[in-house]
Amino acid sequence: MVVITVSGPPGSGKSTVAKRIADLLGLRFVSAGQLFREMAQSKGIDVVGLNKQAEQDFSIDREVDARSILEAEKGNVVIEGHLTGWVVRDAELKVYLNAPLDVRAKRIAERESINIDKAIKETVQRETSEKERFKKIYGFNLDLLSNFDLVINTSLYDLQDLLDVVISAILKSKPIKGVVVQ
């Protein structure tokens, strides 16, 4: 049974890397961030709005994190999400991806078809909200990364180089029977 977490702030590349790792290793892919976005959409608000609600209603984050833990218990999965490296305790490899704010905001602006100023503003608001909220809910300090096995600044590498580093770390941490990296 293999469980890999890929965490990091918005726009760090965690979804892209996690999806490709899952594909390359023939593992399931689960996105905590996608679940959060779906919750926002079902409530008719954006992610910033749901973050504001979650500041008062901790059950929103707990629901997302509980699902991540359940998916980890099923095994053979790459779980992507801001908190997965903290809440999924028994992963074979915990990866944390980051990049400078301007790089992350540019990625978010392109992904969501918004201007860069709006992306920066929303990203800063979201990160501030999440840092405070996760500290209140779980006691996590998102600036402390000592529980991660691998921490990478994604602005320094292209996607293939990132994949090579992460795949190498995965295979060294736990050889996976029958895995042929494509």
Ligand-binding site membership of 10 (annotated)? yes
Ligand-binding site membership of 8 (annotated)? yes
Ligand-binding site membership of 154 (annotated)? no
Ligand-binding site membership of 15 (annotated)? yes
DSSP 88-145: -TT-SEEEEEE--HHHHHHHHHHHHT--HHHHHHHHHHHHHHHHHHHHHHH---TT--
Range list of β-strands (E), 46-90:
77-80
Ligand-binding site membership of 175 (annotated)? no
Ligand-binding site membership of 128 (annotated)? no
Calpha distance 157→59 (Å, rounded): 37
Calpha distance 111→140 (Å, rounded): 28
Ligand-binding site membership of 13 (annotated)? yes
User: What b/e string do you get for 152-180 counting C-beta neighbours within 10 Å, with b at 16 or more?
Assistant: bebbeeeeeebbeebbebbeebeebeeee
Annotated binding residues: 8-16
Annotated binding residues for ATP: 8-16
